[in-house]
């Protein structure tokens, strides 16, 4: 099943950009698979410049929950913050294997990232994670956080849903 992109605050990418977005989103999903294989939560993020140069790549933190802020998006942003200014980040795209949570969406806003493309949406992810088992979740889509930002943030997703689901199958305990 492949959902149509949903956008907030701006229009969807042009046809040529859609193929490049799928390619880069697959890289974020590959990071999610790598995270799972290493015993971490199955999330991945890739940040690129407008020409497609990879600026940062990261996966989610340990499944033991020792650092509740070690989400893939934040890990990628942390590696960029000291090196790149907001003028560069405003032109960058963050690709996330799953919809950024409210915390990550806030970090994306504050970082200056101008564009986000994600795979698995929160509603589908919740089917895997459940609502119990020590999971602390906020029911706030990233678009709601982005809508409060002082500047527009392009948000495209969900995309490549079947591929983005794969790292989560069998990982979460309901």
Q: What are 80-118's pLDDT values in tens digits?
A: 877 787 888 899 999 999 999 999 999 999 999 999 999
Higher pLDDT: 17 or 26? It is: 26
Query: Does the pLDDT of residue 8 top 50, yes or no?
Result: no
Residues identified as active-site: 73
Whole-model pTM: value is: 0.86
Write the CB contacts of 78 (distance below 8 Å, at least 6 apart in sequence): none
The pLDDT value given to residue 174: 61
Residue scoring higher pLDDT (10 or 55): 55
Counting beta carbons within 10 angstroms of the beta carbon of residue 29, is it exposed (0 to 12), middle (13 to 18) or buried (19 or more)? Answer: buried
Q: Mapping DSSP to helix (H, G, I), strand (E, B) and coil, where does residue 115 land?
A: strand
pLDDT of residue 14: 44
Using one digit for the tens of pLDDT, what is the confidence trace for 18-66? 888 999 999 999 999 999 999 898 999 999 999 999 999 999 887 666 7
DSSP codes joined into one string, 69-102? T--HHHHHHHHHTTT--HHHHTT-EEEEEE---H
Three-state SS at 106: helix
Q: So what's the pLDDT on residue 70? A: 87
CA distances for 28 relative to 10, 34, 58, 85, 170, angstroms: 23, 10, 8, 23, 19
């Amino acid at each position: 099943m492949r959902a149509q992109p949903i956008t907030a605050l701006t229009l969807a990418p042009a046809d040529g950009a859609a193929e490049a977005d799928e390619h880069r989103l697959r890289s974020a999903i590959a990071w999610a698979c790598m995270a799972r294989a290493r015993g971490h939560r199955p999330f991945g993020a890739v940040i690129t410049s407008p020409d497609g140069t990879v600026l940062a790549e990261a996966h989610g933190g340990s499944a033991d929950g020792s650092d509740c802020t070690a989400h893939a998006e934040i890990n990628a942003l942390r590696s960029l913050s000291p090196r790149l200014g907001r003028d560069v980040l405003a032109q960058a795209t963050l690709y996330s294997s799953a919809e950024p949570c409210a915390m990550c969406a806030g970090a994306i806003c504050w970082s200056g990232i101008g564009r986000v493309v994600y795979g698995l949406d929160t509603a589908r992810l919740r089917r895997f994670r459940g609502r119990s088992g020590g999971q602390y979740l906020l029911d706030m889509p990233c678009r709601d956080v982005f809508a409060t930002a002082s500047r527009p943030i392009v948000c495209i997703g969900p995309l490549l849903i079947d591929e983005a689901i794969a790292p989560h199958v069998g990982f979460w305990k309901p």
